[in-house]
Copies of this chain bind each other. A is one copy, B any other.
Amino acid sequence: MDNKKERIVLSAIEMFREKGIEKTKISDIVKGAGIAQGTFYLYFSSKLAVMPSIAEVMVERMLDSIKEETENAKDINKLMRSIVEAVFRLTEADRDIFALMYAGLAATEYMTEWESIYADYYKWMAQQLEVAKEAGAIDVSLDSEETAILLIGLIESAAEQTFLYSPKGQGKAEEKKEQVVQFALGALGCRNTSNI
């Protein structure tokens, strides 16, 4: 059943996180999934071919988490803070998986699948910006779609820089988050409102 495919994906996430991509063997994945070696090949052609499925799961988790976090954020200021909060939190928690997602997708021909994987995420963010525009909170001349993409890229790169690439940056996470929020609000044309 498709049950099997899902079990492979979840096991792969688990294993990649535990041992890294290079050191994870297909035999590890199938062991974790509780299926036979050959069964793996009925669903995926190689270890890296699992990556898009993993990314899908991760981005979905990310978006769910952000939606939850921003449930009570009524103004753009709070919204942005909540988003940054969620992204930083998840990047820290799953830093290894995010790293391997970038690695896995980048290392392969699957790279251009990114966009479709992020589609929902981008769309949601664009909708938030639309709402903010209607509320007169941000610059109405911004292109919501494109700005959404830039915002997400900005926040993710900051989170990655903090948790993935910086040996000691994690202590400064709070400052970093504040910086990103300010930077983002400025870019959205509502710096003043953000001064508290």
Point out residues on A near B: beta carbons under 8 Å.
Answer: 20-22, 48, 99-100, 102-104, 106-108, 111-112, 114-115, 118, 139, 142-143, 146-147, 149-150, 153-154, 156-158, 160-161, 164-167, 169, 175-176, 179-180, 182-184, 186-189, 191
Q: How many copies does the complex hold?
A: 4
Residue in A149, A180, A189 with the greatest tally of chain B CB atoms within 10 Å: A149
Q: Are B186 and A139 in contact (CB under 8 A)?
A: yes
**Contacts A22-B48, A48-B22, A186-B139 given: A150-B165 contact, CB under 8 Å?**
no
Q: Given contacts A153-B153, A186-B189, could you give 13 more A-B pairs where the C-beta distance is less than 8 Å?
A: A20-B107, A22-B107, A102-B102, A103-B103, A103-B104, A114-B166, A115-B166, A115-B169, A146-B179, A149-B161, A150-B183, A153-B157, A189-B191
Q: Are B147 and A179 in contact (CB under 8 A)?
A: yes
Chain B residues with CB below 8 A from A147, complex form: 179, 183
Q: Are B153 and A158 in contact (CB under 8 A)?
A: yes
**Contacts A156-B157, A186-B189, A187-B187 given: A179-B143 contact, CB under 8 Å?**
yes
Residue in A142, A147, A166, A187 with the greatest tally of chain B CB atoms within 10 Å: A187
